[in-house]
C-alpha cells in the first residue's frame, strides 16, 4: 500500500489497517525513526493522577504478597484446589 504525505506533514493510514488494528480517532502513537524507516507504535497514555492511584494500590497490596502461599509444582497447586491431575 502506498500513502502520500499531504500538507502539514499528514499521512492517511489505509482504512484496512485502521479496521484490522482497531484504531480510532484520538488514539496516540509513538513515532520511531530507525534504519531509514518510520514506525508508528500505538501507545496508551494515562493521566498522572490515575498512575499515582495505581501506584498507591500496588504499594498497599505489597504486604499481602508475603502472605500468599507458593507452590513448588503445578501438581501441588492443583492438589491444593482438590484436583488430582493424574486422574483427569
Is residue 87 scored above 80 in pLDDT?
no
pTM to 2 decimal places: 0.51
Cα(28)–Cα(86) distance, integer angstroms: 49
| pLDDT, average across residues 65-78 | 82
Q: What is the pLDDT of residues 3-58, one digit of tens each?
A: 899 999 999 999 999 999 999 999 999 999 999 999 999 999 999 999 999 999 98
Three-class SS of 39-67: EEEEECCCCHHHHHHHHHHHHHHHHHHCC
Amino acid at each position: 500500500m502506498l500513502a502520500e504525505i499531504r500538507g502539514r506533514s499528514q499521512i492517511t493510514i489505509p482504512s484496512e489497517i485502521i479496521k484490522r488494528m482497531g484504531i480510532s480517532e484520538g488514539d496516540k502513537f509513538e513515532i520511531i525513526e530507525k534504519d531509514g524507516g518510520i514506525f508508528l507504535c500505538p501507545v496508551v497514555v494515562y493521566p498522572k493522577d490515575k498512575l499515582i492511584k495505581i501506584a498507591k494500590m500496588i504499594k498497599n497490596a505489597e504486604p499481602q504478597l508475603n502472605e500468599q502461599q507458593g507452590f513448588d509444582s503445578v501438581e501441588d497447586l492443583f492438589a491444593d484446589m482438590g484436583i488430582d491431575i493424574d486422574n483427569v
